[in-house]
């Protein structure tokens, strides 16, 4: 018996999937009990590609793949909502399992694909849509079913993390750090999705649906990029022992999902503090197990291929769509969060319920805010981690 695969896209990810299947054929056969074979590859420009094997059909026409009778699984390694969602819908309607690495498409169309898959009794794998090589989807699906996940904080975009790391370590301006990321292939020619938080938002939306059974409403999401952060900002807060990170946060409280993607300041006692360069990390807080952190490469040929192959192994298992989203007493409590109030005008803008804790530098205060508040002004920056050190430190000039 053979599991036959059609591969949509033959760029970095597509090539990684093909090579991984070839190089690990023996292990995959032991796990699945069947040979795994790529029988067809869809490319946009057929003149730029060569079939990796004479037995593989290379085509730029999806209809040719759809007409094949021997395809069991379709793997989506292309970008953009269309034509990817149309291709996967037609594959599902033909009774084929699908696996995707397309985060934008899946964040937008996951409900439609899942409903269709249920109707046709096939599976949808999407591990590769969030944090590349970190097995966060399977961890949440298989290992945390007894837990109620109360909060998730994640560095979900390697490009923005790389830029902030280089700005701090090498004293680069934002523009120079971005140029370096582009030179190394970490950032696209148009980096908007990465540096303005769209990419991280897509991933947070996918996690939210898995954990809580619903996505955050886009109009209620606080999304702020990193392009306004200056070299002097980085240096100043580094001297205070804090590091800038671009963090996506999701939690379920007061009967709805809260989601934010924004720059925050991270204390050295928080798991995200040591996550540098293009690494991704996800910090989970749950009611039974407590805190769990996973860290690893968020993108690249083989990390993404690894996630896709793991989905291939789990495809025929019964899928649980999400864990718990019921209210608890904890959800109804007001939680205090710590912030930096930064700049001469900051104290004039303190919201109701804010308490000034300590001045730690000229025109810089630690404040605590109780309740469900969102501060979008540039002079307020949330702090992640235990702030005891900041509250006890002597004022610096």
**Distance from C-alpha of 137 to C-alpha of 126, rounded to nearest angstrom:** 8
Task: Quickly state the pLDDT bin for 325 (edges 50, 70, 90).
Answer: low
Above 70 in pLDDT, residue 105?
Answer: yes
Residues 308-336, mean pLDDT to the nearest whole number = 68
Residue 247 burial (CB count, 10 A): 29
113-127: per-residue pLDDT in tens?
Answer: 999 999 999 999 999
- Tens digit of pLDDT for each residue in 29-73? 999 999 999 999 999 999 999 999 999 999 999 999 999 999 999
Query: How many Å separate Cα 289 from the centre of its chain?
Result: 22
What tokens appear for 90 in the block?
Answer: 């037609």
Q: Which residues of 166-193 are buried (b: 16+ CB within 10 A; e: fewer)?
A: bbbeeebebeebbebbeeeebbeeebeb
How far CA 387 is from CA of 13, 18, 30, 269, 367, in Å, comes to 41, 47, 50, 9, 10
Summarised one tens digit per residue, pLDDT across range 156-180 is: 999 999 999 999 999 999 999 999 9
The one catalytic residue in 103, 109, 148, 203 is 203
Q: How far apart are CA 318 and CA 136, in angstroms?
A: 18
Give the CA dihedral 241, 246, 248, 249, nearest 10 degrees.
20
pLDDT at 379: 84
Separation between Cα atoms, residue 236 and residue 243, nearest integer Å: 10
Share of the chain above pLDDT 90, in %: 76
Secondary structure letter of residue 141 according to DSSP: I
pLDDT tens, 345-390?
Answer: 888 788 877 899 999 999 999 999 886 656 666 788 999 999 999 9
Mean pLDDT of 179-204: 95
203 catalytic residue (yes or no): yes
pLDDT tops 50 at residue 208: yes
Is pLDDT of 145 > 90? Answer: no
């Amino acid at each position: 018996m053979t599991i036959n695969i059609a591969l949509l896209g033959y760029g970095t990810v597509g090539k990684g999937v093909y090579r991984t299947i070839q190089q690990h054929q023996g292990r995959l056969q032991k796990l699945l009990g069947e040979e795994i074979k790529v029988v067809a590859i869809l490319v946009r420009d057929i003149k730029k590609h060569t079939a990796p094997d004479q037995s593989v059909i290379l085509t730029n026409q999806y209809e040719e793949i759809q007409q094949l009778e021997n395809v069991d699984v379709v793997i989506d390694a292309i970008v953009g909502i269309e034509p990817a969602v149309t291709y996967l819908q037609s594959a599902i309607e033909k009774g084929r399992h699908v696996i995707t690495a397309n985060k934008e498409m899946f964040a937008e169309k996951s409900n439609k694909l899942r409903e269709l898959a249920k109707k046709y009794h096939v599976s949808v794998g999407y591990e590769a849509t969030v944090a590349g090589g970190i097995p966060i989807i399977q961890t949440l699906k298989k290992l945390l079913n007894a837990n109620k996940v109360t909060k998730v904080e994640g560095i979900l975009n390697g490009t923005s993390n790389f830029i902030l790391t280089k700005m701090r370590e090498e004293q680069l301006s934002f523009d120079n750090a971005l140029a370096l990321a582009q030179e190394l292939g970490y950032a696209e020619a148009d980096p908007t999705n990465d540096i303005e938080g769209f990419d991280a938002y897509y991933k947070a939306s996918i996690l939210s649906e898995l954990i809580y059974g619903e996505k955050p409403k886009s109009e209620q999401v606080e999304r702020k990029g990193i392009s306004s952060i200056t070299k002097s900002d980085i240096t100043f807060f580094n001297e205070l022992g804090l590091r800038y990170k671009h963090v996506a946060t999701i939690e379920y409280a007061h009967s709805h999902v809260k989601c934010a993607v924004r720059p925050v300041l991270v204390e050295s006692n928080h798991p995200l503090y040591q996550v540098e360069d293009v690494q991704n990390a996800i910090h989970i807080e749950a009611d039974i197990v407590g805190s769990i952190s996973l860290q690893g490469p968020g993108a690249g040929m083989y990390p993404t291929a690894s996630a896709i192959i793991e989905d291939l192994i789990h495809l025929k298992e019964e899928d649980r769509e999400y864990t718990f989203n019921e209210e608890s007493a904890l959800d109804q409590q007001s939680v205090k969060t710590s912030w930096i109030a930064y700049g001469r005008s900051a104290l004039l803008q303190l919201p109701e319920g804010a308490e000034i804790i300590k001045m730690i530098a000229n025109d810089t205060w630690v404040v605590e805010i109780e309740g469900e508040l969102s501060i979008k002004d540039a002079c307020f920056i949330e702090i992640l981690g235990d702030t005891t050190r900041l509250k006890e430190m002597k004022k610096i000039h």
